[in-house]
Chain A
Amino acid sequence: MTEHTPASASAVLAALKRGFSFSWTTIAIIVVVCTGIATFESIEDMRPYWHPFVTVELCGLAIAYCVNVARPWTRARPIVHLAIAVAIGAILGHALMVPTKNFILEQLLNEPRLYTLDYVLSHKKTFFFSAFSAFLVGLCISVFFLLKFREARAAEALHKAEAERLLLAKQAMESELKLMQAQIEPHFLFNTLASVQFLTETDPPQASRLLGHLLSYLRAALPQMRSESATLGQEVELAEAYLNILRMRMGSRLDFSIDVPPALKTHPFPPVLLISVVENAVTHGLEALAAGGRVNIAARLDGDRVLVTVEDTGIGLSGPSRPGSGVGLLNVRERLSALFGVRGRFSLEEAKPRGARATIEIPFAPANPQPALAAAQA
C-alpha cells in the first residue's frame, strides 16, 4: 500500500508538502489544547501571556506538521517513528519561536529584540527543558490520538473489506449474466446456418462436418446447456469449434493453432471467458482485414499462475474501434477480478510484428483439493 521507496528529492518534497494538509477541525483542536497548556504555564511564567502562548502554539503546530509528514501510522513501528517526529517537531517549534518572538517584539510592540544569539546560548538549559517538556506533552497527546485512530481505522478497514466482498460477489454475478446474455450472436448463428444450407445442396459431407462443429459450439455456448464449472480443456474445445466454423465460412482468410499442454486441460477454468476473448480477436482483429489472418491460442503454467494467451495477426490495437467493441473484454476483466481478486488478470497488448495479444491469468489450482473456482466463488 504505502511505498517505502528510497527517498528521492521529489518524494521528500512531496512528503514535506503533504505535512501541510490539515482539516480545519484538526487545527482547531491543536490550537485549543495548546491554549490550555499555555494558560496553565502562564501561572508560573512572569512574562506577559503571549510568551508562553506563542511558544506552545508553535510547538503544537510544528509537532503536528512533523507527525503529518512522517505518517507513523503507515509504518512498521509507529511509536518509534512518532517519537522521532515529535522530537523533531519540538525542536522545530522552538527554532520557529525565536524569529517569531523577535518579530512580535520589534514590529508590534516596538521593544528591543530579546532573542539574540548570545541570549539563546546563555539560556541553553532553559531551551532544552522547554523543548523536552514540549516533547513529552506532545508525545502523550499524539500517542493517545494514534491509538484512538488505530481502533477507528481497524474498524473502518473491516467495514470496507466486508463491503468490498459484497461488491465483488455482486459484480461476479452481474458479469456472469452479461457474458451469458451476450454469448451467441444471432448474426453468427444465421450466417453459419446459411452456410450449412448451402453445403447441403453442394457438398453434403462438408455440411455434416460444419453442422457437427455448430453442435459442439452450441452445446458449450448455450447457457442452459452449460455446466457450472468448466475445465480449460472444455473451454478450448468451445473455442476450437467456433474457429472451425469460421474457418469453413471464411475460407482461406482464417487460420488458427491451439497449443495447450494435456496436463492443463483438466485445470478448472471459468466458463465462456476464453471464447469471448477469441471472438473479440476474430471480430475486431481479423474480420476487418481483407486478407484475414491467424489466431493462436496457447496455455502454459508459469510458477503458480496459469497463463492463456490469444494472439491474432489482425489490425492490432491501432485500428478504429467499432461501436460496442471492448465491452465484452471489460466483462472478462470484471469476472476475473470477481473470481480471483488481484490474482485474476486480463491484459491486452500489441503483438509483434502486428496484431494483438490477449492474456488471461488465473491462479494455478492443483488437482486436489476441490477446484479453486468453487472456493473463490464461495
Chain B
Amino acid sequence: MTTALIAEDEPMMRAQLKGRLAQAWPELEIVGEAQNGEEALALADEKRPDIAFLDIRMPVLSGLDVARELAGRCHIVFVTAYDDYAIAAFDEGAVDYVLKPPMPERIAKVVSRLKARAAQPPLDLSALLAKLAAQEPAQGPLKWIRASLGNSMKMIAVDDVLYFRAEDKYTKVVTAEGEALIRKPIKDLYEELDQEAFWQIHRSAIVSLRAIARVDRDWRGEPVIVLKGRDEMLAVSRTFAHRFKAM
C-alpha cells in the first residue's frame, strides 16, 4: 500500500488536499500531517512515506528546504498557491506539483503520474533545487541595521546613518539622533552596504556620501570630510584618498 505525508501550514488547505486525494486515490494512506517544515522532516523520518506533498511556503523550513533534505528518499509533490518562478522550473524538470486550490482534474493527473512512477526511484531534484535557490531574489544591500542602544535593540535604517566607526570589536553607528553599537566588524559590514552610497575612507571608518557637506584639506593637505550639521570631521587615510582627488 502506498503511503503519503502532507506538509501544509494552513489547516483548511491541509484538509482540502486530503479530501481531494481521498477521492482521487482511495487506497493512498496519509500517514502524517505536518504544520511546518521541521515537523515534516521529523514525520518523514518516522513514517518513511512513499510520497511527500510539500507546501512551498511554510514556517521554520520551506517546502524546498524539506525536499532538499529528503533527496531520493521519497517522491515529492510540491503544493503552492503562487510561485511563478518555481512553477516554471517544475514544468521544465517534469516535477509534480499541485496548485492551490487543488482542482480534481489536476489531482487526478498527478495521481496517475505518481502511480506510474511508483516502482521507479524518485526523481533527482538536487539540480532543480540548487537552481531555484540561485533564482531567489538576491539579498541586495543592507537596508536595516540591528543595533543595541543601552540594553535594548533597535532597527536603524541604513539611510539614516552618517558614518560607521570601528571601536574595539564593535562598530559604532552614528546617526543624527545618536550613536549605537553593532557587533559586526567594519570590513564585513562594508561588504553588505550599498557601495554606491557608502565609502570606506579609513581602515576604521565608513561614511555615507549623503552625509558629506564637503571635502576639505587639512594643514598637511590630506583630505578631511566635513559632515552636514556635525562638528566632527573624518580623516581620509592615504589608501582611500584617491577617491576624493576629483572632488
- The interface of chain A, by Cβ under 8 A from chain B, is 1-3, 11, 14-15, 18, 20-24, 186-187, 189-191, 193-195, 197-199, 201-202, 248-251, 253, 287-290, 316-318, 321, 323-324, 326-327, 329-330, 333, 347-350
Asked whether B59 lies within 8 Å of A349 as measured between CB atoms, the reply is no
Looking at the complex, which one of A18, A249, A321, A350 makes contact with B154 (CB distance below 8 Å)?
A: A350
* Interface hits, B1-44 → A, CB 8 Å: 9-13, 15-16, 35-36, 38-39
Known: A21-B217, A199-B12, A323-B138. A14 touches B232 (CB 8 A): yes
State the Cβ distance, A226 to closest chain B Cβ, in Å.
23
Looking at the complex, which one of B39, B60, B140, B154 makes contact with A288 (CB distance below 8 Å)?
A: B60
Asked whether A324 lies within 8 Å of B81 as measured between CB atoms, the reply is no
Q: Is the interface of A mostly helix, strand, loop or mixed?
A: helix
Q: Please, which residues of chain A bring their CB within 8 A of the CB of B136?
A: 323
Q: Please, which residues of chain A bring their CB within 8 A of the CB of B139?
A: 323
State the Cβ distance, B58 to closest chain A Cβ, in Å.
9
State the Cβ distance, A159 to closest chain B Cβ, in Å.
14
- The interface of chain B, by Cβ under 8 A from chain A, is 9-13, 15-16, 35-36, 38-39, 57, 59-60, 81-83, 100-101, 136-140, 143-144, 146, 152-155, 157, 159, 216-219, 221, 224, 226, 229, 231-233
Residue in B39, B138, B143 whose Cβ sees the most chain A Cβ within 10 Å: B143
Question: Whole-angstrom distance between the alpha carbons of A3 and B227 in the complex?
Answer: 13
Asked whether B101 lies within 8 Å of A198 as measured between CB atoms, the reply is yes
CB nearest neighbor in B for A186: B82
Q: Please, which residues of chain A bring their CB within 8 A of the CB of B35?
A: 290
Asked whether A324 lies within 8 Å of B137 as measured between CB atoms, the reply is yes
Question: Whole-angstrom distance between the alpha carbons of A316 and B137 in the complex?
Answer: 22
The contact sample of 9 A-B pairs, CB cut-off 8 A, is: A14-B231, A22-B217, A194-B101, A249-B12, A287-B59, A323-B136, A327-B143, A348-B144, A349-B154
Q: Which 3 A-B pairs have the closest CB atoms?
A: A194-B101, A190-B81, A350-B153
Asked whether B217 lies within 8 Å of A290 as measured between CB atoms, the reply is no
Question: Whole-angstrom distance between the alpha carbons of A135 and B35 in the complex?
Answer: 83
Known: A21-B216, A289-B59, A323-B138. A318 touches B10 (CB 8 A): no
Question: Whole-angstrom distance between the alpha carbons of A316 and B154 in the complex?
Answer: 10
Known: A323-B136, A348-B144. A194 touches B233 (CB 8 A): no
Known: A21-B233, A22-B219. A318 touches B146 (CB 8 A): yes
Q: Please, which residues of chain B bring their CB within 8 A of the CB of A1?
A: 229
CB nearest neighbor in B for A160: B228
Asked whether A329 lies within 8 Å of B144 as measured between CB atoms, the reply is yes
Asked whether A15 lies within 8 Å of B231 as measured between CB atoms, the reply is yes
Question: Whole-angstrom distance between the alpha carbons of A326 and B141 in the complex?
Answer: 11
Q: Please, which residues of chain B bring their CB within 8 A of the CB of A350?
A: 152-154
Asked whether A20 lies within 8 Å of B218 as measured between CB atoms, the reply is yes
Asked whether B143 lies within 8 Å of A198 as measured between CB atoms, the reply is no
Q: Please, which residues of chain B bring their CB within 8 A of the CB of A195?
A: 10, 12-13
CB nearest neighbor in B for A1: B229
State the Cβ distance, A368 to closest chain B Cβ, in Å.
33
State the Cβ distance, B210 to closest chain A Cβ, in Å.
11
Looking at the complex, which one of A22, A186, A321, A349 makes contact with B152 (CB distance below 8 Å)?
A: A349
Q: Please, which residues of chain A bring their CB within 8 A of the CB of B231?
A: 2-3, 11, 14-15, 18
Q: Please, which residues of chain B bring their CB within 8 A of the CB of A323?
A: 136-140
CB nearest neighbor in B for A352: B152
State the Cβ distance, B223 to closest chain A Cβ, in Å.
10
Question: Whole-angstrom distance between the alpha carbons of A179 and B158 in the complex?
Answer: 19
Looking at the complex, which one of A18, A186, A197, A250 makes contact with B10 (CB distance below 8 Å)?
A: A250
Q: Please, which residues of chain A bring their CB within 8 A of the CB of B226?
A: 21
Asked whether A330 lies within 8 Å of B159 as measured between CB atoms, the reply is yes
Q: Please, which residues of chain B bring their CB within 8 A of the CB of A330?
A: 143-144, 157, 159
CB nearest neighbor in A for B215: A23
Q: Please, which residues of chain A bring their CB within 8 A of the CB of B11?
A: 251
Q: Please, which residues of chain A bring their CB within 8 A of the CB of B153?
A: 316-318, 349-350
Asked whether A194 lies within 8 Å of B16 as measured between CB atoms, the reply is yes
State the Cβ distance, A3 to closest chain B Cβ, in Å.
6
Question: Whole-angstrom distance between the alpha carbons of A256 and B9 in the complex?
Answer: 19
Known: A191-B81, A347-B154, A350-B153. A198 touches B12 (CB 8 A): yes
Q: Please, which residues of chain A bring their CB within 8 A of the CB of B9?
A: 250, 253, 287
State the Cβ distance, A251 to closest chain B Cβ, in Å.
4
Q: A186-B81, A202-B15 are in contact. List 20 more A-B contacts (CB 8 A).
A: A21-B218, A186-B82, A187-B83, A191-B82, A194-B101, A195-B10, A195-B12, A197-B101, A287-B57, A287-B59, A288-B59, A289-B60, A323-B140, A326-B143, A330-B144, A330-B159, A347-B154, A349-B152, A349-B155, A350-B152
Asked whether B15 lies within 8 Å of A198 as measured between CB atoms, the reply is yes
Q: Please, which residues of chain A bring their CB within 8 A of the CB of B16?
A: 194, 197-198, 201
CB nearest neighbor in B for A17: B233
Asked whether A290 lies within 8 Å of B219 as measured between CB atoms, the reply is no
Q: Please, which residues of chain B bring their CB within 8 A of the CB of A193?
A: 101
Known: A190-B81, A190-B82. A290 touches B57 (CB 8 A): no
Looking at the complex, which one of B82, B152, B221 makes contact with A187 (CB distance below 8 Å)?
A: B82
Question: Whole-angstrom distance between the alpha carbons of A103 and B39 in the complex?
Answer: 85
State the Cβ distance, B93 to closest chain A Cβ, in Å.
22
State the Cβ distance, A79 to closest chain B Cβ, in Å.
21
